[in-house]
Structures are given as C-alpha cells and as structure tokens.
Copies of this chain bind each other. A is one copy, B any other.
Amino acid sequence: MFESAEIGHAIDKDTFEAAVPALREALLEVQYELQQQKRFPVIILINGIEGAGKGETVKLLNEWMDPRLIEVRTFDQQTDEELARPPAWRYWRQLPAKGRMGIFFGNWYSQMLQSRVHDQIKDARLDQAIAGAERLEKMLCDEGALIFKFWFHLSKKQMKARLKALADDPLHSWRISPLDWQQSETYDKFVHFGERVLRRTSRDYAPWHVIEGVDPNYRGLTVGKILLEGLQNALKLPKGKASGMNPAPLIASVDQKSLLDSLDLSLRLDKDDYEEQLITEQARFSGLMRDKRMRKHALVSVFEGNDAAGKGGAIRRVAAALDPRQYHIVPIAAPSEDERAQPYLWRFWQKIPARGMFTVFDRSWYGRVLVERIEGFCTPTDWMRAYGEINDFEEQLRNAGVIVVKFWLAIDKDTQLERFQAREEIPFKRFKITEDDWRNRDKWDDYRAAVGDMVDRTSTEIAPWTLVEANDKRWARIKVLRTLNRALEDAFAKSDKHDKKKKK
C-alpha cells in the first residue's frame, strides 16, 4: 500500500514555481465558488508518519488559499466537557458548515492508531473503531460532505533522517507527538496498523491519498492538485445530485394491519390508582437519578407521538420528579439556518447530556423518518438511509453509557379530534393548536405507516421503542415513568455485573 510512496518522488524548484501561480488561482476560484454555492462542507483529514510534512503542508494550503474560509482543528487532549460525552461529540461540535473547509489534525484515525500502537486496544477493538469511522464518513458524504483523506508517508530511513533534522531545529520542538517515534518499533507498528486502517477505510466516497512526504514541492503540489480536482468535480455536479442508489420503496403491509393497530387504546387508570402510582413512580425515578451509579451514565429520552397525544403532559410528570438542575428539555421544531448548514444529526449531537445528566427531546431526530418523509422535505434515499444512521447514532450513545429511552404516544383519531376542539376553546391552550395540526391530521394514514416502519427499523435491543397507549393520559404517564425506571434499573444492573466481573 505504501510502495509508491517510498520511491523518492520529487519536483524541482523551477517546475514547482512555474506550477504554483495557476494552481493557487484555481484553488481560490473553487474556494469562492464553494462559499457561494454553500451546498456542502469540505473535510480534510491529515494523517500519517511523524515528520512527513503534515503540518508544513497544511501551512502551505493556508498560504495558497483564503485562510478565512478554512478552519484548522486539532484534537489533542480531550477537555473535561468532551470526556463526559461519547467520543464522537468532539468531532461533531467542530464540523465545518456548508461552504467552508475544515482541516482535521489528530482526528479519529490518529486516536485509534495511537491506542493500537500503545497496545491499549486489541485488533477487535481497532476493527470496531474502523467500522465506526466508515459509518461516520459514509453518513457525512451522504449528507453532501466532500471528504479528502491524506496519509503522509516516509520510509523508516527517511523518517529517521527527518526527525534528526527536526530535532536540531528549535522551531519544531514545541509540539510533542504522543508516540515515541525514535523507537524503530513504533514506526513498524504504526505502518502495520496504518495499512490495515487504510485498506478498510478507503472507499469510493472517501478514498485515501497516500503522499510521499520527503520532498516538500512534490507533496505540496500533489495535495493541491488532488484538492483542486476533487473540488472542481463536486462543484460541477447538478444541484439535486442523485445518489447512485435506488432503494426499493417501503410498502404498506398488504393486509393493512399495522403495529399501532395492535395497541389496546382502551387501557386506562382511575384517578386514585393514578395518583398513588404517580407518587410511587416519581419517587422511584427521583431515587434512581440520584443513585451514584448514575455518574457513569447519562439519560436521553425521546418523545414522539400523534399531535395532542399528551407528550407535554407526560414530560411535565417526568420532570416534576427531578431537581430542575439535572435535566434539560429540548423542544425540536424546524431547523434554523445554522442547523440546515450541517448534517441533520448535528443539532441533536450538540445537546447530548454530560454524564449524570438527563436530556428530554420533545420530538427528535426521528423527524427525518416522520415529518420529513411525509412532507417530502428530504428524498426517499435520504430518509431510507436515516434508519441506519440513527441506529449508529444511538449505538454510539449507548456505548458511552448513555441510556436511550424512546416513546411513541398513540391515540386514536376520535380522541385527537376531541382534544383539538378542546384546545381551541381553552384560552391558555389555544397556542397549542395550529393550522399545521389540522393538516397533519389529514395525513393520519401516512403517519401510521411511517411509524410502523420507524419502529420496525429502529427498535433495537440497545434503544427499544415503547409504544404508549395514550387515549387515557393517566395510563400513558404512568407507563412512561415506569419504562424510564426499568431502563435505569436494567442499566445499573448491567454495570454492577460488569464491575463484579472486572473485580474477579
């Protein structure tokens, strides 16, 4: 894989200087075009051997192009805010917006390689990390991002010579690499595992480019040309760029029976039972959230449901059990301008709670496969791939100790009508009913089908959906609280088991 990058590529000074002016102008041109179109972001990953010119090349790119449109991000030591959240959070918070370029040093690849070279993880964990990177990049590309991945290479001999030269130059000693490159073994391991990573993650949508790092002219010109051609290509594509894929459409089940039909919406609780159980479940919830095992977890809860199904009321009963300092409630409406300049999962990633905390999403990322699907705000390809992306997202949360609990509050059409009419009559509730609600009601069957697909495709062991019979608000609220309590207890029990095993 690295053979072609050890053959002594070089460009002489005259050729280099003759080529640069035209390249620079062309790069500036595409950069401004990118900014004008604001159709997609550019993400440039910089990896490879120490001393192979990574930093110098990025510096050169900043000189050639307009640095005001480039964000250079390093991911060294994690901050304590980052350590309290899933590993990918730090990358999500630094993604460039559409029309801009982000250069990521010390990205997900450096982290997995360092861990493997240091023997902090084994091959199996490395492969998991590789698969995670693939899924992340695939998703970013599907959302329109243009990703360039550069691997700067040196042979071992070249590297040793280069490190010696750098050590003598006081200007280069201020940033210490976390790997001890002076050891011959480090190089061998890094190249060995690097090859594995590159092999697995070089994909049509985001291929690796291996650059021989010895000659500054060669590596600068090569990187510049790759960027230029990639950008020119992407900018020329028509606006509604069709993906090559043609997923088979989802069909309604042929017997017209859906999961939601199987719910017994007549379930109800009388007032006395409700009040007794409410106090019990709220106290239980309050206790669990104060349990010291909660410090290793965070809680995310998603509330979806028919309009007027009682999401707000259920959320209030959940919140009432807690100290308001422990939870955040995030109401989700149409995305803002800044949010539309990012992948659709971006705004949810920003709100992921730190350990010990609880975030309630009042509507959520499932809007992608509900309202966006039904209203045609995204293409069928977009929402079809969303099921997988959402499963990946929730798996990352779960792996970081975040407990994910998802509710669909279901009512029947008559109950909805009654509640709509009641809302229009009660002054302080009239804000809760809009034209949109009546329009959505006309699409009742579309939503029913979409909910069925959503549950089929995203109700997983790690983040199951709970369908809540919500014709009776009391029943619904108790079921919600009880489900949250069970989820916390299950997670704590698993942690205990895990801790015990470790002690043995």
Contact = CB atoms under 8 A, between A and B. Distances in A.
B427 A25 contact: yes
Contacts of A428: 25-26, 28-29, 32
Query: What is the oligomeric copy number?
Result: 2
> Interface residue tally of chain A, by bracket?
35 or more
A141 interface: no
Interface stretch (A56-64, A205-213, A231-239, A259-267): A56-64
Interface string A165-186: 0000001001100000000000
B171 A286 contact: yes
A100 to B, nearest CB: 9
A246 interface: no
A209 to B, nearest CB: 19
A324 interface: yes
A26 B426 CA distance: 12
A117 interface: no
A338 B336 CA distance: 7
Contact of A105 (B63, B68, B325): B325
Interface in A62-79: 62-63, 66-72, 74, 79
Contacts of A28: 428
A499 interface: no
Contacts of A35: 431
A68 B329 contact: yes
B427 A63 contact: no
A428 B336 CA distance: 32
A362 interface: yes
Nearest to A71: B328
Contact of A63 (B32, B316, B339, B362): B316
Contacts of A316: 63, 66-67
A261 B303 CA distance: 63
A103 interface: yes
Contacts of A328: 71-72
Counting from the closest, the 10 A-B pairs by CB-CB distance are A32-B431, A72-B324, A337-B337, A25-B428, A28-B428, A68-B331, A29-B428, A68-B329, A74-B325, A338-B338
26 contacts: A25-B427, A25-B428, A28-B428, A29-B427, A55-B323, A55-B325, A58-B324, A59-B320, A63-B316, A63-B320, A67-B316, A67-B319, A67-B324, A68-B329, A69-B331, A72-B328, A80-B80, A81-B81, A105-B325, A171-B286, A174-B290, A175-B323, A175-B325, A336-B337, A337-B337, A338-B338
